[in-house]
Amino acid sequence: MTRTPPTSAVLTDAITLKPARPDHFDLAFTATTQPCPWPKAYGGDLVAQAAAAAMRSVTDGKSLHSMHSYFLRPADIGAEVRYEVEVVRDGRGYSTRQVRGYQNGKPLYVCLAGFAAGEAGAAFHTAFDEDVPGPEDLSTSAEYLAGRAGGSMTEESRAYWSGGRGFDMRHVPGPVYLTVEGERLPHQAVWLRPFDPLRPVDGLTDAQRDLAALAYVCDYTILEPVLRVQGLAWAEPGLVTASLDHAMWFHRPGPVDGWLLYVQEAVAADAGRGLGTGRFFTRDHRHLATVVQEGLIRPT
């Protein structure tokens, strides 16, 4: 059987929006959630689609600098989500948008997004960890999973982890797909890169597409340090996880087609919830974005 090569079109298809007639606010778009082997759609679809909708509503050159989101209901897979954008404020230096996602007539996602014109100012960012092995020295997800089995992993989830998410992901220490590879540390790093060059996206500049790409990919692994420190793997039978809320800050522009280092840390876990943080760096040490996310973590 011939398998389709992994492709970043998963991402660019997800953030391709269609204009629609607004029912509630100022602008509306529709988008489709992408396939995945779980009962609900991937949360990064919603964040990235909302980011794309918000960016398409700002026409004066300001750039997205932050998003603050809540996940209200699970989204159906392969189904249309309607994003309504409210123009909350347009100022000379900053603008604000509210985006609500609807499916089956009910709100399932809401966020506030901030945009900045940019101005002169001092630059600083946290240090890049020089001790992290380079991606060329690490196994791909497909290489790691080849010949392995266990837990709740199916052929569908194996294929999804190996090549269905649009990005090549390589873990330091090893991944947490079937077991927790390495020590139960509250931190990890993931090298990631699109499987092939990102395609143009209607309605977005390449720079805007790259911001949406970061918003898309950040959710895949942000809770893994919380799982790792608890000794939980994704294939743990009966494990239930879900994104609850999410915040992201975009510090400076940078291309997403090359390798990025996503440095992550578990901050807290209690009462069935866990909080993780993440920072995206380019290979030349530019700190592009910071993520904070809380999620439901319900073991068997």
The one-letter amino acid code at 264 reads Q
Indicate whether 2 pLDDT > 60.
Answer: no
Mean pLDDT of 216-221: 97
DSSP string, the chain: -PPPPP-THHHHHHT--EEE--SSSSEEEEEEPPP-SSSS--HHHHHHHHHHHHHHT--SS-EEEEEEEEE-SPPPTT-EEEEEEEEEEE-SSEEEEEEEEEETTEEEEEEEEEEE---------PPP-TTSPPGGGS--HHHHHTT---TT--HHHHHHHHHSSSEEEEEES---SSS--S---SEEEEEEEESSPPPP-TT--HHHHHHHHHHHHTTTTTTHHHHHHTT--TT-TT-EEEEEEEEEEE-S---SSS-EEEEEEEEEEETTEEEEEEEEEETT--EEEEEEEEEEEE--
pLDDT at 188 over 50: yes
For the cut 90, the answer to whether the pLDDT of residue 65 exceeds it is: yes
With a CB cutoff of 8 Å and minimum separation 6, the contacts of 83 are 17, 28, 29, 30, 31, 49, 50, 53, 99, 100, 101, 102
pLDDT in tens, 145-167: 999 999 999 999 999 999 999 99
pLDDT value at residue 128: 75
pLDDT higher for 105 or 125? 105
Structure tokens at 1: 């059987």
Asked if the model's pLDDT at residue 27 lies above 60, the reply is: yes
Confidence band of 126 (pLDDT split at 50, 70, 90): confident
Average pLDDT estimate for 12-38: 96
Is pLDDT above 50 for 1? no
How many whole angstroms separate alpha carbon 15 and alpha carbon 33? 9
CA distance 94 to 61: 11
The pLDDT value given to residue 3: 58
Q: What pLDDT was estimated at residue 85?
A: 98
- Closest C-alpha among 179, 185, 182, 174 to residue 137: 174
The pLDDT of residue 37? 94
Taking alpha carbons only, the member of 264, 169, 192, 179 closest to residue 222 is 264
Fold of 8-119+135-298: Porin (2.40.160)
Neighbours of 146 (CB within 10 A): 11
Residue 4: predicted pLDDT: 75
Q: How does the average pLDDT of the chain come out, rounded? A: 95
- Asked if residues 76 and 108 have their Cβ atoms less than 8 Å apart, the reply is no
Across the range 35-60, mean pLDDT stands at 96
CB 207 within 8 A of CB 65: no
Percent of the chain with pLDDT over 90: 92
Question: What is the C-alpha separation between 210 and 134, in angstroms, rounded?
Answer: 22
Distance separating the N- and C-terminal Cα atoms of the chain: 36
Closest CA to 249 of 51, 44, 13, 19: 51
Rounded Cα–Cα distance for residues 133 and 127 (Å): 16
Beta strand 260-270 with 187-194 is antiparallel
